Chains A and B, each alone.
Chain A
Amino acid sequence: MSLRQSMAGLHTWGGLLPSWLLFVIFFAGSIACFDKELERWMRPALHEPSSHGMTVDQVRDAMLAKAPDAHAIWIRPPSEREPFYWAGYEPADESAFVRFALDPVTGEPMPETVGGLFFFTLHYDLNAGMVGMYIVAIAAMLMLVALISGIIIHRRIFKDFFTLRPDANGQRAWLDAHNLFGVVGLPFHLLIAYTGLAIFVVFYMPAGIQRAYDGDAEEFFHDVMGAYSREDVKQPAPPPMSLDRLVADAQRRWGGKETGWISVHHPADAAAVVDIRRYDRSGIVDFQWTFSYDAATGELLHEQKPYSPGYQSYAWLTNLHMAQFGGQIVRALYLLLGLMGCAMLVAGLQVWLRKREARGGYGIGLVRALNGAVVGGLPVASLGLLYGNRLLPAGIAERASAETWVFVGVWLLVAGWAVLRRNSGKVARDVLVVVAVLALGLPLLNALLTPQGSLLATLARGDWDMAGIDLVLLASGVLCGLFAWRRSQPQVAKAPRVRRRLAEENA
């Protein structure tokens, strides 16, 4: 068995098994490029630009009123993409962080929503915590393997790049599409798989810290990041210094840029420490230049040095993945390349199916069912989530989890439909029709329920971040409608042609 043959087998099976998982990860990750814009869309209070009259001190007092014995409180002042205060606290027992998005007008927490963060979490841990993170990592490893074995199989990479035969038989046309999307996206896919794994490398590969630091992760992070911390002394704190004054001082020291997260550790203790971080998107890496102050006296305790070369490289890799540099152009590019990755996966699944439909084989029904359930179900469920966001009443308890249940419920519905009708050949058309109807209806619903966020209103005030979401929804609705219409046309049977056999076909 030659190298290319063995790699073809690895590519076929190593690629097929994680395909549906990777589709979810790619799709959610692509949407998560615009998580902050979606967050605004999902919070009607933020649709109209408003001046936020709150000071950092007021936000701190509000957090301390909620949790007087908090281990730490965190405050994120408004920024260009997030025109509102994020705030929250770590409870005294250091359990899960409790976070609030504050209404810029009233200063009260806004109605709960999963927000754009939902897709971000779905992307990196499938909303399943640590277990999900490891599942995603396995999928990413298999993606790396599929990419490298794909390169080895694909010796005619440049010739095939210019080949697209949409009128050829099904398998050939899908293979062309798979190659086209795979080759165009290849540098991006390699980058995104590798850097995605790199982000959580300390969870996946502890060998380095275990060997060189005797497993002491804290010491390691102290070495690479140079963060400052001070133990509490179990004595009540004197009245604290104004945070606004400390922020002004920090901004003066680093030369007046945006402020990132502000934290106060053990605020009720005499040894309370205020950390103020700079927020800087001028380069790929932001080392979050941090000043640490004594909370009571305002004395500067520590200034963070730039990252060590190793951590600087790590941050560069992970920030390439996160696309927080270069503005909306870079994010739009990542979104398109991510969707291209989805297209490559779908085309690859179709190659697998068509080949086995032609010569018979096992597993066809299962692959068809999963295709409909995942590839069809996820986009419909995502649209369902946005409907839920607008239609669920603002005041209900556990509103965020209600939204999640809408997402899960819609997905299960589509999945059930896809499994039952897997051999009808009509699932794809049905899903396309549903996506078209839902996507076209959503801007309408948005205009009816939240007039200040309607497409006409956002276009009129030149709010392209908000208008963009409605425009993309309309465009995808039209596109899916066209595809659905095309699929429902009667297919013309084509005479089989004699072709050269490709190595890929032997896989």
Chain B
Amino acid sequence: MSKAKTSSRRDVTARVLAAILGGYALAYAATAFLSVYLPLVRSDRVVFASLSCFAVYTLAILYAFAARSALQAWLVLIGATVLMALAAYLPGDFGVRP
């Protein structure tokens, strides 16, 4: 086994947490974002946004392990989550548009 393979227990734990919690947070924010901004009627926005959440979650989990470091994984996931959540939740009247 190569040297590069051995990663510390702390690093692995941090990545696992980033994948599970950060990934779900990102999927949640992305679903809220899409259910506001997709160019469809309201019910269809919700359906398609919800159906895409598993793809977002999967990619986020893969990314958490592919990222250069656990810290980077956390920063990117949190950053993307915050951006999408802000866009989804700040403009009040967008959510209920027809």
In the assembled complex, the Cα of A231 lies from the Cα of B26 at a distance in Å of 40
* CB <8 Å contact, A506 and B1: yes
Most A Cβ at <10 Å: residue of B34, B36, B54, B95:
B54
In the assembled complex, the Cα of A37 lies from the Cα of B57 at a distance in Å of 37
Chain B residue numbers with a CB within 8 Å of A224 are 43, 47
* CB <8 Å contact, A1 and B44: no
Chain B residue numbers with a CB within 8 Å of A208 are 31-32, 34-35, 45-47, 49-50
CB distance from B66 to the nearest CB of A (A): 5
Given A207-B35, A313-B47, A313-B48, A506 contacting B95 (CB threshold 8 A) = no
In the assembled complex, the Cα of A152 lies from the Cα of B35 at a distance in Å of 31
* CB <8 Å contact, A220 and B43: yes
Instruction: Give A197's nearest chain B residue, CB to CB.
Output: B54
Chain B residue numbers with a CB within 8 Å of A6 are 65-66
* CB <8 Å contact, A211 and B62: no
Contact flags (1/0) for B16-38 with A, using CB distance below 8 Å?
A: 00000000000111011011100
CB distance from B76 to the nearest CB of A (A): 15
Interface status of A246 (Cβ within 8 A of chain B): no
* CB <8 Å contact, A205 and B62: no
* CB <8 Å contact, A211 and B36: yes
Chain B residue numbers with a CB within 8 Å of A484 are none
* CB <8 Å contact, A212 and B66: no
Chain B residue numbers with a CB within 8 Å of A496 are none
* CB <8 Å contact, B31 and A205: yes
Interface status of A132 (Cβ within 8 A of chain B): no
* CB <8 Å contact, A201 and B95: no
* CB <8 Å contact, A211 and B50: no
Interface status of A308 (Cβ within 8 A of chain B): yes
Contact of B44 among A7, A152, A309 (CB under 8 A): A309
Chain B residue numbers with a CB within 8 Å of A213 are 42, 46
Instruction: Give A8's nearest chain B residue, CB to CB.
Output: B5
* CB <8 Å contact, B4 and A212: no
- Could you say which of A18-26, A140-148, A258-266, A460-468 contacts chain B? A140-148
In the assembled complex, the Cα of A10 lies from the Cα of B35 at a distance in Å of 31
Contact of B89 among A10, A202, A211 (CB under 8 A): A211
* CB <8 Å contact, B51 and A201: yes
Which B residues between 49 and 95 are near A, CB-CB below 8 angstroms?
Answer: 49-51, 53-55, 57-58, 61-62, 65-66, 88-89, 95
* CB <8 Å contact, A212 and B96: yes
Q: Looking at chain A's contact residues, is the secondary structure mostly helix, strand, loop, or mixed?
A: helix
Given A1-B4, A6-B66, A145-B61, A212 contacting B46 (CB threshold 8 A) = yes
Instruction: Give B46's nearest chain A residue, CB to CB.
Output: A208
* CB <8 Å contact, A207 and B43: no
Interface status of A317 (Cβ within 8 A of chain B): yes
* CB <8 Å contact, A5 and B4: yes
Chain B residue numbers with a CB within 8 Å of A7 are 62, 65-66
In the assembled complex, the Cα of A435 lies from the Cα of B4 at a distance in Å of 45
Instruction: Give B68's nearest chain A residue, CB to CB.
Output: A1
Contact of B95 among A10, A198, A211, A313 (CB under 8 A): A211
Interface status of A279 (Cβ within 8 A of chain B): no
CB distance from B61 to the nearest CB of A (A): 5
Interface status of B2 (Cβ within 8 A of chain A): yes
In the assembled complex, the Cα of A506 lies from the Cα of B5 at a distance in Å of 9
Contact flags (1/0) for A98-127 with B, using CB distance below 8 Å?
A: 000000000000000000000000000000
CB distance from A205 to the nearest CB of B (A): 4
Interface status of A44 (Cβ within 8 A of chain B): no
Given A144-B58, A212-B46, A313 contacting B51 (CB threshold 8 A) = yes
Interface status of B8 (Cβ within 8 A of chain A): no
* CB <8 Å contact, A202 and B54: no
Given A141-B57, A205-B27, A314-B47, A506 contacting B2 (CB threshold 8 A) = yes
Contact of B43 among A152, A205, A311 (CB under 8 A): A311
In the assembled complex, the Cα of A474 lies from the Cα of B47 at a distance in Å of 45
Most B Cβ at <10 Å: residue of A1, A148, A197, A205:
A205
Chain B residue numbers with a CB within 8 Å of A197 are 54
Contact of B47 among A149, A194, A207, A311 (CB under 8 A): A311
* CB <8 Å contact, A207 and B31: yes
CB distance from B40 to the nearest CB of A (A): 7
Chain A residue numbers with a CB within 8 Å of B96 are 212, 214
Chain B residue numbers with a CB within 8 Å of A141 are 54, 57-58, 61
7 other contacts beyond A152-B62, A210-B32, A311-B47, with CB at 8 A cut-off?
A: A5-B5, A144-B54, A197-B54, A207-B31, A308-B41, A310-B43, A506-B1
Q: List 20 A-B contacts (CB under 8 A).
A: A1-B5, A6-B66, A7-B66, A10-B62, A144-B58, A201-B54, A204-B53, A205-B27, A205-B28, A207-B28, A207-B53, A208-B50, A209-B46, A212-B42, A213-B46, A220-B43, A223-B43, A309-B44, A506-B1, A506-B5
